[in-house]
Amino acid sequence: MSEFKVNEERLKQEFIRLAEISSPSFRERVLAEYLIERLQQLGLSVEEDQAGRKIGGDCGNLIAHLPGKEDCPQIFFCAHMDTVEPADGVKVVFENGVFRSAGETILGGDDKAGIAAILEVLQMLRETGVSHGPLEVIFTVAEEQGLLGSKNLDFSKVRAKFGYVLDCSGDPGTMIIGAPAQTRINVRVQGRAAHAGIDPERGINAIQVAGKALAQLRLGRIDQETTANIGLIKGGKATNIVPDSVFLQGEVRSLVKEKMETLTKEISETFARVAAAEGARCDFWAEFLYPEFHLDIKSPVLELAAKAARRAGLPVRYETSGGGSDANIFNAAGLPAANLSIGMRQVHTAEEYLLLKDLVDVARWLWEIIRVVIKQEWDKP
């Protein structure tokens, strides 16, 4: 256990301050300006890349550097600045050690709990003056929009060789060692319009055709590694018109890319076959969003975090996730990255909550990661 303690009151106030700054995807600028000032106050140099321009947002990713002992490997901590909506007008209520939203908005612990923990550890480094290795902090944009920020990160500005993404629900001490690839699927079924009461026989009901195809699809959990979903359907103009067009959008995810590709092809072929049988036309296109990743439990990035968790008194758990994170992109870029659980619960809902105890434990975990690096009590990558 470390002799240095997290300042719980300061951490609590920092999280509340962050949560009450509105930062939905593509509108992270106000939060970014606050973070630039805070990081500079804590002795870090800060750069902003051009990701915002590339994706149509008002802000780029922030990459900040804190110098340290040059004979130590440089690591990074990453959290994303954006949140899902509703995110405007967040008011945080703190009662009995629990953060909640006072209204119908999200709380924003995803991912401002991660940001708050990082800032607290940086503050501790500044106050204590303890020796540490070079440290990099990366705050990304538009993570909630298919990892757009990290996908457009200027990696030429990143000096670290491995690191940690703070963006997972669950108890601190838990590490995500694998996450799926994802493909977005888009389908447009084109039928033929007709008057629904006078001449329905002339029509080809695109919604009905799509429904017949949907009934033949394998959706939900396919196996332990693969899921599929159709989550959006738009079509029709009026109840007295046989609908001539319908658009559907969904996704396929898998820890095994080949399984994702096979299922995507199966869905495409099903729509094409059913549409042809009904005299309709089908357009299908797939968008590959991000790759899967897998980390060996004995890899240095995990061994370091596990040792640090034990030093912080946290039970170590390894899990795979059904969702993607910036860790997918870092690993694909050749930078080993584990996604750390930061205690957020029921995210993306108005019922979201976060325990102060968990937030403190996350900060303690990050502190111990930094201390393990400086002591080099692990196998370097």
The span from the CA of 295 to the CA of 280, in Å, is 45
Is 127 assigned a catalytic role? no
Q: Are 350 and 106 in contact (CB under 8 A)?
A: yes
Residue 223 annotated in active site: no
Peptide bond into 86 cis (omega under 30): yes
The residue from 28, 110, 143, 368 that is catalytic is 143
For residues 308 and 117, what is the distance between their CA atoms, to the nearest angstrom? 15
Q: ∠ CA(43), CA(325), CA(16), 5° rounding?
A: 50
Query: Helix 206-216 and helix 257-277: axis angle, to 10°?
Result: 140
Contact (CB, 8 A) for 153 and 138: yes
Which residue in the list 14, 82, 110, 278 is annotated as catalytic?
82
- Residue 43's region, left for phi above 0, alpha for psi from -120 to 50, else beta, is left
Q: Strand, coil or helix: what is 226?
A: strand
CA distances from 207 to 198, 281, 284, 354 (A): 19, 12, 15, 42
Active site residues: 82, 143
